[in-house]
């Protein structure tokens, strides 16, 4: 079957006898045209490259090809009005043979309605020219859009879809002038931004008076060859000797070259290359509201108390931090002995594992200076988020509140990095970026907060205060599922151990905290107070449990202690009784292994037949698995666990 017959649904084919001819379905009598449909409702039913089937052209930077014709048909629109359809966009383009017209190898030029065409016919006709910039043989065709160029219909001489066999043939020949212009000199990088590189060079002498412009080439450090960035119209004229590469990627090293072209598309040898490295794109998130939303509380007499944080996240490697200048707002703070800057791989401060970058000794009897400059270090930042913590060491008499800010973008000395977002908003500058959601208050002199395992299924928490001011009480919060517990504190304190409120989601740490108890405070007192709470209902599958205290003043002001972690080690493999037991539907199987190993748990009936495989995996630590007995008959079954060197069985009763 011929190609034409496969496309005979639309009876429109080109006929060439020296002029463009369109065989249309019919010629409509003149009538008033209905309103044109919205562009979003239009659909191209047919379009083509109408004429000519081939073009020959002599390379010239200012001389376009002869006219190319294309036609389009939209049912009920092009055949129903006497003027071109406003919402149709047409282009003619060329590219190398063997490439898709949708690829970057093709160049496209706008077409316009043919003013000499009779629009009372079914089809509308468009005309346009190409300005080839390469010498050789190419394919050319038309493309059409009714949504402003968001989507395109690619055609050939017989209509869509595009087939290279039926595309036009374009030959671009070299002119008789084959002498290239001289090589541009003085290529220089004038400015580098996170996604831009600006270049300048010297104008070439136009000895033959046929110089046309320049071409800029770029090669990434990881690439093997240079790629052309510009087209003829981008750098028209020998005096146009600057260019900004706005397609650069952050944190990337590039080599650049420039060439000169004359009107015959003769190209000079490339200039000596220059190199530029764009800075890494840095996302900055302050510790205050709208950012990490961190609240801190500092304990008098304690060292390394975090009072502020800022997350710095380079999108690429290559950025280096050399200084941070913090501006304190602490009009009433006293007793601050030292301040330090730390860097952490996460949002939880830990002096044992985090890295101290700089430390400042202060006079605890005097107020804080106007700024705290942490310098004298060079910290290479990976292309991963890091959190900077500001900490203080306090005397026993410390009091007041502390809030830290970064005054502006110059407060961070970043070499090879550029701030592009602040608290999730695209911006390169800021003013007074808060490092905490509120000041770090000292209403309660918390002298210690400790956790100790009491057996394998409970944890005892103890803390004490040296003095309290307007202390309404403490909430004990746990970073896992809610649980009931029991507690006792000072003789005059009451304890509530039921679930007090909904879970708290801590944006800064990604943890879900639940209040598991409330202990009343002592109000205002200079006498030491001791508190104790025992968490007796730990989630079985939790290998680590984190606790913190939420201290609440009588006016509702709150502060949080730093979390403490209790690790629950597994010393031996175990299989706990399944619950509920008896069971009639889903049941929970709990087991543990001290190290990673293969675990198989199956359910057997009284005859020793395996009726269900519950677990067949590689596991470590405590684990919970679900067992569904809803389809089993009533009776006694056995849950058996097998690992390397361990076997245990638990009885399970199924009832209907």
pLDDT digits (tens, 9 = 90+) for 260-279: 999 999 999 999 999 999 99
Q: Which of 441, 408, 411, 639 is nearest to 554 (CA)?
A: 441
| Structural domain spans, the chain | 3-173, 188-278, 282-434, 444-567, 574-654
Q: Sorting pLDDT into bands at 50, 70 and 90, what band is 375?
A: very high
Q: Sorting pLDDT into bands at 50, 70 and 90, what band is 330?
A: low
Lowest mean per-residue pLDDT among 156-160, 277-281, 435-439, 620-624: 435-439
Please check the confidence at residue 32 and state whether its pLDDT lies above 70.
Answer: no
Average pLDDT, integer, range 622-646? 93
Would you tell me which CATH number, out of the four given (3.40.50.10860, 2.60.40.10, 2.40.160.100, 1.10.287.3510), belongs to the domain 444-567? 2.60.40.10
Residue 290's region, left for phi above 0, alpha for psi from -120 to 50, else beta, is left
CATH entry 2.60.40.1290 includes domain 282-434? yes
What's the CATH class of domain 3-173? Answer: mainly beta
| Token pair of 27 as six digits | 């010629």
Q: Sorting pLDDT into bands at 50, 70 and 90, what band is 53?
A: very high
Q: Sorting pLDDT into bands at 50, 70 and 90, what band is 384?
A: very high
> Taken in order 171, 3, 25, 80, is the CA torsion positive or negative?
negative
Percent over 90 (pLDDT), the chain: 65
Would you tell me which CATH number, out of the four given (3.40.50.970, 2.60.40.1930, 3.40.50.720, 1.10.600.10), belongs to the domain 574-654? 2.60.40.1930
Q: Sorting pLDDT into bands at 50, 70 and 90, what band is 446?
A: confident
| pTM confidence score | 0.53
Percent over 70 (pLDDT), the chain: 87
- What span, in angstroms and rounded, lies between the C-alpha atoms of 286 and 302? 25
66-89 burial: b if 16+ Cβ within 10 Å, else e? ebbbbbbbbeebbbbbeebbebbb
Q: Which of 191, 217, 156 is nearest to 13 (CA)?
A: 156
Please check the confidence at residue 499 and state whether its pLDDT lies above 70.
Answer: no
Please check the confidence at residue 386 and state whether its pLDDT lies above 60.
Answer: yes
Lowest mean per-residue pLDDT among 197-201, 224-228, 622-626: 622-626
Please check the confidence at residue 25 and state whether its pLDDT lies above 50.
Answer: no
Convert the pLDDT of each residue in 550-572 to its tens digit: 999 888 878 888 889 888 778 88
pLDDT at 393: 93
Lowest mean per-residue pLDDT among 1-15, 174-188, 313-327: 1-15
Please check the confidence at residue 632 and state whether its pLDDT lies above 50.
Answer: yes
- What span, in angstroms and rounded, lies between the C-alpha atoms of 209 and 286? 59
Q: CA–CA distance from 5 to each of 1, 45, 153, 476 (Å)?
A: 7, 17, 21, 80
Q: CB of 337 within 8 A of CB of 395? A: yes
Other C-beta atoms closer than 10 Å to the C-beta of 468 total 23
pLDDT at 447: 74
Q: Which superfamily does CATH assign the domain made up of 188-278 to? A: Immunoglobulins (2.60.40.10)
């Amino acid at each position: 079957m011929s190609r034409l017959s496969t496309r005979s649904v639309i009876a429109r084919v080109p006929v060439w006898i020296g002029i463009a001819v369109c065989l249309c379905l019919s010629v409509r009598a003149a009538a008033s045209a209905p309103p044109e449909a919205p562009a979003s409702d239009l659909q191209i039913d047919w379009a083509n490259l109408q004429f000519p089937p081939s073009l020959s052209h002599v390379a010239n930077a200012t001389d376009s090809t002869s006219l190319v014709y294309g036609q389009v048909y939209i049912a009920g629109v092009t055949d129903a009005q006497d003027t071109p359809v406003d919402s149709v966009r047409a282009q003619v383009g060329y590219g190398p043979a063997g490439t898709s017209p949708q690829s970057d190898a093709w160049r496209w030029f706008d077409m316009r309605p043919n003013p000499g065409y009779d629009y009372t016919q079914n089809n509308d006709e468009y005309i346009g020219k190409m300005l080839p910039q390469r010498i050789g043989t190419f394919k050319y065709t038309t493309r059409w859009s009714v949504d402003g160029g968001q989507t395109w219909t690619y055609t050939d001489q017989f209509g869509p879809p595009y087939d290279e066999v039926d595309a036009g043939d374009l030959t671009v020949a070299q002119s008789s002038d084959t002498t290239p212009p001289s090589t541009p000199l003085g290529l220089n990088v004038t400015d580098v931004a996170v996604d831009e590189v600006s270049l300048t060079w010297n104008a070439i002498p136009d000895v033959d008076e046929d110089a046309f412009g320049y071409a800029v080439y770029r090669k990434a450090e990881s690439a093997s060859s240079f790629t052309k960035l510009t087209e003829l119209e981008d750098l028209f004229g020998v005096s146009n000797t600057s260019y900004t590469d706005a397609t650069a990627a952050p944190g990337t090293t590039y080599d650049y070259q420039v060439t000169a072209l004359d009107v015959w598309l003769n190209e000079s040898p490339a200039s000596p290359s220059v190199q530029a490295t764009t800075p890494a794109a840095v996302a900055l998130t302050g510790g205050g509201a709208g950012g990490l939303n961190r609240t801190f509380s500092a304990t008098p007499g304690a060292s390394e108390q975090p009072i502020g944080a800022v997350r710095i996240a380079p999108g690429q490697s290559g950025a280096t931090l050399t200084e941070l200048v913090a501006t304190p707002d602490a009009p009433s703070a006293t007793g601050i002995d030292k301040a330090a800057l730390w860097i952490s791989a996460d949002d939880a401060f830990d002096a044992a594992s985090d890295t101290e970058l700089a430390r400042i000794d202060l006079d605890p009897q005097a107020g804080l200076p106007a700024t705290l400059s942490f310098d004298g270090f060079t910290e290479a930042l990976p292309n991963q988020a890091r959190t900077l913590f500001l900490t203080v060491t306090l005397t026993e008499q410390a009091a007041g509140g502390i809030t830290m800010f970064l005054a502006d973008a110059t407060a961070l000395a970043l070499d090879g990095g550029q701030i592009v977002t602040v608290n999730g908003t695209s911006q390169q500058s800021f003013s007074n970026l808060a490092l905490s959601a509120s000041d770090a208050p000292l209403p309660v002199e918390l002298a210690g907060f400790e956790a100790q395992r009491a057996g394998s299924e409970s944890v005892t928490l103890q803390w004490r205060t040296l003095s309290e001011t307007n202390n309404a009480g403490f909430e004990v919060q746990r970073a896992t599922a809610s649980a009931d517990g029991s507690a006792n504190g000072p003789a005059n304190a009451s304890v509530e151990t039921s679930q007090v409120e909904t879970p708290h989601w801590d944006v800064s740490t990604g943890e879900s905290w639940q209040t598991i108890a409330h202990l009343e405070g002592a109000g205002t007192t200079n006498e030491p107070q001791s508190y104790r709470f025992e968490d007796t209902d730990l989630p079985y599958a939790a290998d680590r449990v984190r606790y913190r205290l939420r201290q609440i003043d009588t006016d509702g002001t709150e502060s949080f202690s730093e979390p403490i972690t209790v690790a629950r080690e597994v010393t031996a493999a175990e299989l706990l009784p399944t619950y509920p037991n008896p069971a009639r539907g889903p049941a929970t199987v709990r087991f543990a292994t001290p190290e990673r190993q293969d675990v198989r748990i199956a359910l057997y009936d009284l005859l020793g037949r395996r009726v269900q495989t519950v677990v067949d995996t590689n596991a470590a630590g405590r684990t919970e698995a679900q067992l569904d007995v809803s389809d089993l008959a009533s009776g006694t079954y056995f849950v058996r666990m097998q690992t390397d060197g361990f076997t245990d069985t638990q009885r399970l009763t199924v009832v209907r």
